[in-house]
Structure 1
Amino acid sequence: MAPNFSDLVEEARLSLQALVDYGDQLFNPTVRLGVTGLSRAGKTVFITALIHGLLRGGRFPVFEAFATGRIARARLAPQPDDAVPRFAYESHVRTLVEERQWPHSTVDISELRLVIDYQRPNGADRTLTLDIVDYPGEWLLDLPLLAKSYQEWSAESLKLSRQGPRLPLAAAWHAHLATLDPRGRADEQETLTAAGLFTDYLRACRDERFAMSLLPPGRFLMPGGLAGSPALTFAPLDVPADGSAPDGSLWAMMARRYEAYKDVVVRPFFRDHFARLDRQIVLVDALAAFNAGPEALHDLQAALAGILDCFRVGRRTFFASLLRPRIDRILFAATKADHLHHASHDRLEAILKRMVDRAVTQAAFAGAEVDVVALAAVRATREVRMRRGHEQLPSIVGTPLAGEVANGEAFDGSTEVATFPGDLPTQPDGLFSVPADSGSFKGLSHFKGLSHGSADQADYRFLRFRPPQLDNDGGDTPYLPHIRLDRALQFLIGDRLT
């Protein structure tokens, strides 16, 4: 699609903002770190643990500047952007440590500024400003809409809704869609009904039983202050991809509102936030996809490919910074590694790497550095060996969340249990050899899942655990245990502290 005048104006604005940001960097070195992920991937927990570890002295042996004592101190600074809510770090820490509950999921953008005083290897004292930008991954998946017409988006959405487990979830919406005449006169009530049923379908897809990831438009599930506005009141119609809408028709009204969604929601997010990022971490709850089945895993793979396509990757050179902002480091992180024994952590990494491999190769070719890690920003379990007959099984111990059920047993949130989480497959390719619409997942034939109870009564799903009970060692707030959070920090900002 050839760029129009408004696109050229937008590019000019982005380049001007990039020039201003680059000038600021000369006097106040700053890294704008984007933290995103799809629903329930652990964005809030990751940011809270990162900040807490830097402020309170976490255990980060792989984070070189911290481990060698070159970081003198880290401190919070006033919120840099007046129009963006502040990330509620203090309340999230209380929720984790005092209440032993996980903080609420991200539903809007927020930001926090952390100033790091450090010493370079040559002894010179320096300061790095870290602006952490937290935003829902669903917003990221909206960016491709900027290059699609309403007709193209409708065709893609309808095709997706007719595949695999999505089809029965879309039944009510499809039934209403069959009654609509796109070329007929625009009707507000028909539009409201269609938008509501379409939103119900998206919400059902996101349910943990199905764990679908490709769910644009993202704001339909997180409307905020735009709830009920025309910009969020549209739905796909069964129209030809190369057709044109008659004036005054239902099709024309839907297309106009789709374009309004891009103007009101998508373009401002891209211009004001996404296009200004220097580094990015994408958190992925792969275990939820394993729980939901093969279709969810394929859907997640497609979503991750779409996410990588959104990034303007490449090395941040002087010339490139003047012309166009670029993200030069991207980290994909498989979260909740503490739900597995450490023997499976590398396997979880390998599975995630396989999921983003093609897109990562394209990004690396453009000059960006991309890495994959399996982590737990806050470790909720510990490891033990559990005897079963003559076997010693590598197991984990933790407190399941209230309401979790395994093998018919419901947990109340106060009882610690030992579980055998099973082994992930050693060869990830087998996971992706089965078509997305297949009824079985042969690649998981060696994946045992959770084995709580006797071997013949195993429940093949992962339990969700409460945050750990922490011992206060005399400090104001106890240390938060983690898995590989320091490796993530080293990749994301380690080079900027040398």
Structure 2
Amino acid sequence: MASLTTYTDEARIALDTLAGRAAGLMSPSLRIGVTGLSRAGKTVFITAFVHNLLHGGRLPLFDAQNSGRISKAFLEHQPDDAVPRFQYEDHIAALVESRVWPESTRAISELRLTVEFESASAWNRLLSRGRLSFDIVDYPGEWLLDLPLLLKDFETFSREALEMSALPGRADLSKEWRSQNRDCDPNQPADEMTARKLFEAFSSYLRACKSDQRALSTLPPGRFLMPGELEGSPALTFAPLDVQPGAKAKPGSLHAMMERRYEAYKTHVIRPFFREHIARLDRQIVLIDAMQAMNAGTEAVTDLERALTEILSCFRQGRGNLLTGLFSHRIDRILVAATKADHIHHESHDRLQAIVRRLADRAIARADFSGATVDVLAMAAVRATREGTVKQGREALPVIIGTPLKGETIAGDTFDGETETAIFPGDLPEKPGLIFQQPKPGKDGGDPPAEESLRFVRFRPPRLEKTAEGITLSLPHIRLDRALQFLVGDHLA
């Protein structure tokens, strides 16, 4: 990963880490990165994480909580004043009071949650202050996919972008941009209007790839989809060009303009993001929406695998020692979690987990080689459904019961967002590799039969249950406790 940084970057990282380690002697902390591609549930995960610790949620597999060793959990001021705060209060109000999902992550944000606890070890009780802060960093996975660009020049970036745009799942969406590219001479004089038209056509193609119907994941540059405060700047107004291999950009040409802006994007956007945020992480969870990809088809599943491999290869993963740990952070635990496990019956959870393992195989092998511990999980940070059975003739079908979001459809029926219904979601394939295969067409050459096509719908957040005494329970979940145990349990042991 050092190849992604300059010597100046490494010096800054070392100084920042050393200062952080010194502060940690008085106020120990663990920095946890939460990422994933859009709609994977990053905001919901963090909100549920914090809510369950603040309110003593039901977390039987989270040992420190289940054994009663956490005496107190509370929010504190975050250490980075220049980073927007994760608005936990707004998000929990949306989930609990309005029963709507919080808005997706659009930029980086941070929140500090501090716990006071008693160690399970007598020796640790002597050495530990019994207080630990979790600095939770929320950032878009789309931005993380930019990091490999640091290793690519403009020619390589352009060639790969053009090759990707011609793939079967993208060719129709990129038609307009590729047409403009063919009509454009890279050696023509630099012109702002031409640059803008190419950028707009290219970014429109990327946005179309991200739609629910395609659900594609590998779409760099990430800031073209989530520009934030840089929208409209020259560093975000460029596009790949069909340049000849080895061709040098002529001074004053469109090629030279695009190449300069691409390099500015790497210098002023990607490098600071890596140096100031990614290089400071201790633990990481990567959330993926495998359901959406399977809904969209084989091209989306294959692209999700490609994106996940690139994401995991970007972390500084592995185990440090006492000396190197003073000057650099290493991510020693990475959790890859498929969200929305509540959209299927628990009988399919093991299959979903196997699918995640298959998607992450290559990337996990790379992480394991460097000494990081990697795990996969099927979970729902907030469980929006419950399970039941419905009799169909003599057969009892396992179903999930919940309130589909307004506009969701099944077999031609459109839901109003208020009506609760029982849904048979279908079975995931027993062999994970089958999700990478194109479904066989129907007898008439059309779409595959409904029973062979997996379709998942989205549900509204649940109404919180109350005890007989009228006490409102915390947000329900599936395996959030196991996720917390893996990410932070050893630091509370």
Are residues 15 and 171 of structure 1, via their aligned partners in 2, closer, same or farther at CA, if it must alter by over 3 Å? Answer: same
Partner of residue 104, structure 2: 105
- 1:368 is aligned, of 361, 372, 382, to 372
Q: Over residues 181-235 of structure 1, what are the superposed CA-to-partner deviations in whole Å (9 max), with x where a residue is unaligned? A: 0011111110000000000000000001000000111111111221111011000
Mapped partners of 1:108, 1:216: distance in 2:
16
Mapped partners of 2:17, 2:245: distance in 1:
36
Asked if 1:481 corresponds to 2:462, the answer is no
Work out whether residues 142 and 216 of structure 1, in 8 Å CA contact, stay in contact via their aligned partners in 2.
Answer: yes
SS in 1 for 2:256: helix
Structure 1 residue ranges without an equivalent (≥5): 435-439, 444-454
Name the aligned partner's letter for residue 364 of structure 1: D
Work out whether residues 60 and 485 of structure 1, in 8 Å CA contact, stay in contact via their aligned partners in 2.
Answer: yes
Partner of residue 394, structure 2: 390
* 36-45 or 357-366: bigger deviation: 357-366
Give, in angstroms, the shift of residue 401 of structure 1.
Answer: 0.4
Mapped partners of 2:450, 2:394: distance in 1:
16
Partner of residue 439, structure 2: 441
Asked if 1:277 corresponds to 2:281, the answer is yes
Are residues 400 and 422 of structure 1, via their aligned partners in 2, closer, same or farther at CA, if it must alter by over 3 Å? Answer: same
Dislocated runs of 4+, deviation >6 Å: 1-4, 455-459
Are residues 479 and 159 of structure 1, via their aligned partners in 2, closer, same or farther at CA, if it must alter by over 3 Å? Answer: same
Partner of residue 19, structure 2: 20
Give, in angstroms, the shift of residue 459 of structure 1.
Answer: 7.4
Percent same amino acid at aligned positions? 57
Mapped partners of 1:151, 1:31: distance in 2:
40
Are residues 322 and 139 of structure 1, via their aligned partners in 2, closer, same or farther at CA, if it must alter by over 3 Å? Answer: same
Work out whether residues 430 and 442 of structure 1, in 8 Å CA contact, stay in contact via their aligned partners in 2.
Answer: no
Mapped partners of 1:323, 1:243: distance in 2:
41
Q: Over residues 105-144 of structure 1, what are the superposed CA-to-partner deviations in whole Å (9 max), with x where a residue is unaligned? A: 0001110000110001135251001000000000110111
Partner of residue 250, structure 2: 246
Partner of residue 238, structure 2: 234
Partner of residue 400, structure 1: 404
Partner of residue 11, structure 1: 10
Name the aligned partner's letter for residue 483 of structure 1: I
Partner of residue 219, structure 1: 223
Q: Over residues 331-367 of structure 1, what are the superposed CA-to-partner deviations in whole Å (9 max), with x where a residue is unaligned? A: 0000000000001111101110111112211211211
Work out whether residues 407 and 457 of structure 1, in 8 Å CA contact, stay in contact via their aligned partners in 2.
Answer: no
Give, in angstroms, the shift of residue 84 of structure 1.
Answer: 0.6
Work out whether residues 57 and 473 of structure 2, in 8 Å CA contact, stay in contact via their aligned partners in 1.
Answer: no
Written as runs of structure 1 = structure 2, the 5 A alignment for 1:145-224 is 145-224=149-228
Are residues 56 and 401 of structure 1, via their aligned partners in 2, closer, same or farther at CA, if it must alter by over 3 Å? Answer: same
Partner of residue 90, structure 1: 89
Mapped partners of 1:208, 1:12: distance in 2:
42
Q: Over residues 405-450 of structure 1, what are the superposed CA-to-partner deviations in whole Å (9 max), with x where a residue is unaligned? A: 1111111111011011111112213334x4xxxxx2369xxxxxxx
Mapped partners of 1:85, 1:127: distance in 2:
24
Give, in angstroms, the shift of residue 27 of structure 1.
Answer: 2.6
The alignment covers a number of residue pairs equal to 480
Asked if 1:471 corresponds to 2:475, the answer is no
Work out whether residues 218 and 303 of structure 2, in 8 Å CA contact, stay in contact via their aligned partners in 1.
Answer: yes
TM normalised by structure 1 equals 0.93
TM normalised by structure 2 equals 0.94
Mapped partners of 2:328, 2:2: distance in 1:
18
Mapped partners of 1:290, 1:442: distance in 2:
15
Name the aligned partner's letter for residue 7 of structure 1: T
* 203-212 or 21-30: bigger deviation: 21-30
Partner of residue 39, structure 1: 38
Mapped partners of 2:77, 2:21: distance in 1:
21
Are residues 55 and 411 of structure 1, via their aligned partners in 2, closer, same or farther at CA, if it must alter by over 3 Å? Answer: same
Mapped partners of 2:166, 2:452: distance in 1:
33
Give, in angstroms, the shift of residue 10 of structure 1.
Answer: 1.1
Partner of residue 54, structure 1: 53
Asked if 1:304 corresponds to 2:305, the answer is no
Mapped partners of 2:440, 2:335: distance in 1:
29
CA RMSD of aligned residues (A): 2.0
SS in 2 for 1:138: helix
Partner of residue 421, structure 1: 425
Are residues 345 and 141 of structure 1, via their aligned partners in 2, closer, same or farther at CA, if it must alter by over 3 Å? Answer: same
Give, in angstroms, the shift of residue 79 of structure 1.
Answer: 2.5
Partner of residue 455, structure 2: 461
Name the aligned partner's letter for residue 478 of structure 2: I
Work out whether residues 431 and 442 of structure 1, in 8 Å CA contact, stay in contact via their aligned partners in 2.
Answer: no
Give, in angstroms, the shift of residue 17 of structure 1.
Answer: 1.6
Work out whether residues 337 and 378 of structure 2, in 8 Å CA contact, stay in contact via their aligned partners in 1.
Answer: yes
Mapped partners of 2:169, 2:459: distance in 1:
28
Structure 2 residue ranges without an equivalent (≥5): 442-448
Give, in angstroms, the shift of residue 467 of structure 1.
Answer: 0.4
Work out whether residues 407 and 459 of structure 1, in 8 Å CA contact, stay in contact via their aligned partners in 2.
Answer: no
Give, in angstroms, the shift of residue 89 of structure 1.
Answer: 0.4
Mapped partners of 1:20, 1:457: distance in 2:
58
- 1:131 is aligned, of 130, 135, 146, to 135
Written as runs of structure 1 = structure 2, the 5 A alignment for 1:73-88 is 73-88=72-87
Are residues 155 and 457 of structure 1, via their aligned partners in 2, closer, same or farther at CA, if it must alter by over 3 Å? Answer: closer
Work out whether residues 426 and 451 of structure 2, in 8 Å CA contact, stay in contact via their aligned partners in 1.
Answer: no
Work out whether residues 294 and 454 of structure 2, in 8 Å CA contact, stay in contact via their aligned partners in 1.
Answer: no
Asked if 1:494 corresponds to 2:493, the answer is no
* 471-480 or 335-344: bigger deviation: 471-480
Work out whether residues 79 and 112 of structure 1, in 8 Å CA contact, stay in contact via their aligned partners in 2.
Answer: yes
Work out whether residues 30 and 128 of structure 1, in 8 Å CA contact, stay in contact via their aligned partners in 2.
Answer: yes
Partner of residue 69, structure 1: 68
Mapped partners of 1:32, 1:143: distance in 2:
20
Are residues 496 and 456 of structure 1, via their aligned partners in 2, closer, same or farther at CA, if it must alter by over 3 Å? Answer: closer
Mapped partners of 2:459, 2:452: distance in 1:
18
Name the aligned partner's letter for residue 143 of structure 2: W
Mapped partners of 1:80, 1:3: distance in 2:
28
SS in 2 for 1:318: coil
SS in 1 for 2:189: coil
Work out whether residues 428 and 454 of structure 2, in 8 Å CA contact, stay in contact via their aligned partners in 1.
Answer: no
* 16-25 or 482-491: bigger deviation: 16-25
Are residues 191 and 224 of structure 1, via their aligned partners in 2, closer, same or farther at CA, if it must alter by over 3 Å? Answer: same
Are residues 244 and 325 of structure 1, via their aligned partners in 2, closer, same or farther at CA, if it must alter by over 3 Å? Answer: farther
